[in-house]
Chains A and B, each alone.
Chain A
Amino acid sequence: MSANAAEMLRGVDANSPLEDEELAVEGRTPLRLAWTRLRRDKVSMVALGFVVFICLVALFAPVLTALIGHGPNIQYSNTGLSIYGHPVGPSRAFLLGTDDLGRDVLSRLIYGARVSLEVGVGATAMALVLGLAFGLVSGYYGGPIDALIARFMDIMLAFPVLLFALALVARFGASLTLIILVVAFFQWPLIGRLVRGQVISLREREFVEAARAVGASDLRIMLVEILPNLIALAVVYATLLIPVNIVLEATLSYLGLGIQQPTASWGNMISEAQNGDLYTIAWWVLVFPCVSLFLTTLAFNLFGDGLRDALDPRHGRSNLTGTVGK
């Protein structure tokens, strides 16, 4: 049982058709079934393609901008601004136009992808680790430890997340690390609560009882017996939490308390487009960051949705979005 789940993780992480072929010889593991289902789902595969594309763009941002020939923070005051000092529209020189300072919008979008993914993936990974750890301990031990952790998670969820994130950033100054920490800090109880619920039902199962009967320690039971069964759930919710966190970062940056200029982030690009109604003379400074943000979030959501259906077709979607960033 746990071996199968571990297989699942490896497969979901890799998503490589090569490994898929190798597994075919071994038989139909749950991973194989899930991957077959996922591959049949065209929408999910297109979404996965886009997710991979955005990751590559973020990873090779310096290479891409070098190819374009425009740095993200360089102000091309001669070529990038019209004689009236206005941004120039999409043209051969600037594929997606320039902003009010004559900077290349495309180059800034590429570097913005980097920020979005750093926060999206970084904060999600941290929230996942914290959520798994606390959820496991809470669900497994039960009693007063569980009561304490569960109550704490409940209280955390009663915090007005956006306000507290804003307060923290306003107090300590915006930096990428702080934003990742703040986002993770307010998201882990969501994962923790889900994990706790799963663990409570898992700990009564026969294989856990068997492990206990042969004298396995609590730590071993938690990590070797129970944890692998949580991986599918964790991967699905991580995929669905990444877009939530990307939006949270963009929202903070939009409100002026996230990534600061001149560093490009999709959120602060949109805020800049609105600044002084710039978008009324240059639609491209507003529309392209909006589209990038939307497509990236959509791709993660579609892929996460497909992944969940593929791993467990019966499982309903619980809501992770909440009202953060409204």
Chain B
Amino acid sequence: MIFGFIFRRLTYLVVVVLLITLATYFIFFAGNAGDLAARFAGHAAGPQAIADTEIRLGLNHGFWYQYWHYLIGLAHGSFGLDFQNQLPVISEIARAFPVTASLVVGAAILWLLIGIPIGIMSAVHPRTKRDRAGTLFALTFLSMPTFVLGVLALLVFYFYLTEAGLHWFPASGYVGLSQSPAQWFVHLILPWFTLALVQAAVYTRLIRSSLLDTLGEDYIRTARAKGLPRRVVIYKHGLRAALTPIITQLGIDVGTLLAGAVVTERIFGLTGLGELSLSALFNGDLPVVAAVVLLAAVFIVVMNTLVDIVYALLDPRVRVR
């Protein structure tokens, strides 16, 4: 049975990746590939140089030939060479991934630490002042586009503080964890909070409604009736069941963001996957775009699969199906 599950998931993954790369190639070739050759050939390139570039980048072949070639490359574990510098795409991704991973993992820890307690507080004291404060928090940040929060954070915590003589936060940039852990941390504080506050709002809403539903169940009343302390009932019985939607959401969010938190990376000048794909998009660098998009799909499907496995571990009823 478990093999069947894994097999189905793998098939699904392959189909999704095929469709997504196909769509990427389709969008790319729907325009005029000749313009691209001209762009990568350089400013002063003559017709001959452009034609050479077209051949060097493989743009002279048709859509299906290119796509087939790309798939064969993938099967050999290669994402190809980028158009801009003719370097292996995989090395660029390997360089950018730690940046995005640092951002997303740190932010995920932060948004769980902020979102879950506020959600629990709201659910345990429904329709009180505390609940309303929690809802206000959630709706405020739910309505705050990430880039608005990010630029306002820069204005207040970078510009005004620096103007006041407090050089607490750098404007932008990324420092590797292995280079200087302290600098790594300082450079990521504002990006972490920017990403985490917006996300925490979603989790606050989720845990509130999920825990409220759970606390209304019969087995919770039974637990209370047999004299268990309120704390034990809420945290041991209630929270465990209420966590399942949180895990689904966490899987989707982390999966999607690992392929690049485009906006947050752009605002804070972090050279992660999002920034990589954005500049590749502006340049029309197909191999890079295709690789990031493919990675995104793989992350999403893999995270969904992990979520299903965690479900089965948390909730024995799931296994029966």
Residue positions of A touching B, CB distance < 8 A:
155, 158-160, 162-164, 166-168, 170-172, 243, 247, 250-251, 254-257, 267, 270, 273-274, 279-280, 283, 286-287, 290, 293-294, 297-298, 300-302, 305, 316-317, 319, 321-323, 325-326
Contacts of A254 in B (CB 8 A): 147, 263
Tell whether, in the assembled complex, residue A290 and residue B195 are in contact, meaning their CB atoms are under 8 Å apart.
no
Q: Distance (Å) between the CB of B214 and the closest chain A CB?
A: 11
Tell whether, in the assembled complex, residue B297 and residue A159 are in contact, meaning their CB atoms are under 8 Å apart.
yes
B116 close to A (CB within 8 Å): no
Interface of B is mostly: helix
The segment from B17-25, B45-53, B220-228, B313-321 that touches chain A is B17-25
Tell whether, in the assembled complex, residue B143 and residue A158 are in contact, meaning their CB atoms are under 8 Å apart.
no
Tell whether, in the assembled complex, residue B281 and residue A280 are in contact, meaning their CB atoms are under 8 Å apart.
no
Contacts of B23 in A (CB 8 A): 159, 164
Interface residues of B in 54-68 (CB under 8 A from A): none
Residue positions of B touching A, CB distance < 8 A:
15-16, 19-20, 23-24, 27-28, 30-31, 139-140, 142-148, 151-152, 154-155, 159, 195, 198-199, 202, 205-206, 209-210, 212-213, 249, 252-253, 256-257, 259-264, 266-267, 277-278, 281-282, 284, 289, 292-293, 296-297, 300-301
Q: Which of A251, A280, A298 contacts B140 (CB 8 A)?
A: A298
**Supplied contacts A158-B20, A321-B142, 15 more A-B pairs, CB within 8 Å:** A159-B20, A160-B259, A160-B297, A162-B262, A163-B262, A163-B296, A171-B31, A251-B146, A254-B263, A290-B148, A297-B143, A301-B143, A317-B205, A321-B202, A322-B253
Tell whether, in the assembled complex, residue A326 and residue B198 are in contact, meaning their CB atoms are under 8 Å apart.
yes
With A273-B151, A326-B257: A172-B266 Cβ-Cβ less than 8 Å? no
Give the docked Cα–Cα distance between A167 and B282 (Å).
9
Give the docked Cα–Cα distance between A167 and B24 (Å).
8
Q: Which of A158, A172, A297, A317 contacts B145 (CB 8 A)?
A: A297
Which are the 5 A-B pairs with shortest beta-carbon distances?
A160-B296, A298-B143, A316-B209, A297-B143, A323-B256
Give the docked Cα–Cα distance between A312 and B255 (Å).
32
